[in-house]
Amino acid sequence: MFDSLSDRLGATLDGPKGKGRLSEDDINTAMREIRLALLEADVNFGVVKDFVARVRERAMGAEVMDSLTPGQQVVKIVHEELTSLMGEAGTKLSFSNRPPTVILMAGLQGSGKTTACGKLARLLAKQKRSPALVACDVYRPAAIQQLQTLGKSLQVPVFERGTADPVETAAWGVEQARSQGRDVVIVDTAGRLHIDDQLMDELVRIKNAVKPHNILLVLDSMSGQDAVTTAEAFSQAVDYDGVILTKLDGDARGGAALAVRAVTGKPIKFVSVGERLDQLEEFYPDRMASRILGMGDVMSLIERAQEQFDEQEAAEMEAKLRRADFTLEDFLGQMRQVKKMAAGQGMAGLLGMLPGVGRQIRNIKIDDRQIDRIEAIILSMTPAERRNHRLIDGSRRRRIAAGSGTNVQTVNQLLAQFKQMQKMMKQVGKGKMPQFPGIPQRR
């Protein structure tokens, strides 16, 4: 969603970074381009005006003008102000000392609210909590069935009473969750195509009935400034605690993510970055600012790796490295782990989390099916061949190519890549820095 904004800001800030000294005209030019970039991203005009004024004031100060690296200082200021615009530090959910913790979900129809309920339940279950869902959207056709389907796939109970009064259903569902020992209850309320008195009145009555510890407003980030208008309207009716932004993987301009905190004062707590149930993330303003400015997001990359890599597997791999015993089976396992990490965003998205890589690979075609081809080739080998690649002669290569639907040249390329990685792994296992082609080894 932020690709266009990232490219525009990156190109704008490349100018100051290349200069030893900055003049007032340099800063004014940069500020004009930043203003245009934010407006094109559909950020609220008042928010843009305040943001640019703060950046200009700091950029004209001593921390930039007297610096040996003024361009880098300007980038640092823009990063800090973007982070501040989106809410400083990430904010967590509040959990009650006396379970269950009640989370009330609100939002307009079509914002992805019911799906967000399922995603949040999965995220909480991963955090060793025992969530339950309560279906109170009795107006949208199939809303209850949708929540039941989500609950079944997550093995999370869904409490519903058909088209009964949603206020009574909400209170009943919380009691059912309490009696079953569930420590978190997520209440899915009804949405409307637009804001109206009936919607708000029902929401207030549900709030009074279940006394939620958290009220989360689900906003469609692709709706642009309409999302901010919706956030303001809901804030007047129910004093919600935070926002879940959905569809952040879309190709809209994304101004809502930058403006909602500044306009409403409410923090963004979670962002949905894909359609799958595991694609809900806690929102960290500093990490998002780094992504927008092309600085990558190393912390999120590390967290994603920790989720996918098992400690025991890591210990076994370390032992293999020490014995210089890295096989094609190990290579396949590593590729599958990378594939899991890239799920939902592709290899380009994964590589974009590395500092300085995002903008460079934006226009490069990365074939996400390459790992599938690697998997097909290795699985076409016998167990003995996977453990000892030296067995693979010409006739075996032809058989493997036929079995994997590729050709001998592709099999040869894979084996060459594997031998290069095996060589690197041996160096790592011996405690040496791996020597990369074209880079002299440090002695």
pLDDT at position 70, please?
73
**Backbone phi and psi for residue 305, each to the nearest 5 degrees, phi listed first:** -65, -40
C-alpha–C-alpha distance, residues 2 and 248, integer Å: 9
**What's the predicted TM-score (pTM) here?**
0.66
pLDDT at position 105, please?
94
C-alpha–C-alpha distance, residues 256 and 311, integer Å: 39
Ranges in the chain annotated CATH 1.20.120.140: 3-86
pLDDT at position 141, please?
79
Ranges in the chain annotated CATH 3.40.50.300: 101-288
pLDDT at position 301, please?
54
pLDDT at position 437, please?
40
CATH superfamily of 101-288: P-loop containing nucleotide triphosphate hydrolases (3.40.50.300)
Amino acid at position 211, single letter:
K
pLDDT at position 246, please?
87
Ranges in the chain annotated CATH 1.10.260.30: 301-429
pLDDT at position 252, please?
53
- 19, 70 Cβ separation under 8 angstroms: yes
Place of tokens 């004093």: 239
Q: What is the CATH number of domain 301-429?
A: 1.10.260.30
Residue range 3-86 forms a domain whose CATH class is: mainly alpha
Place of tokens 């950020």: 43
Place of tokens 């967590």: 92
Pairing of strands 268-272, 280-282: antiparallel
In the chain (443 residues long), the average pLDDT of successive 10-residue segments reads 64 67 80 84 83 87 68 79 76 88 91 92 93 92 92 94 92 95 94 78 92 92 76 82 82 65 84 85 80 58 56 60 70 76 60 52 57 88 90 93 92 87 66 42 40
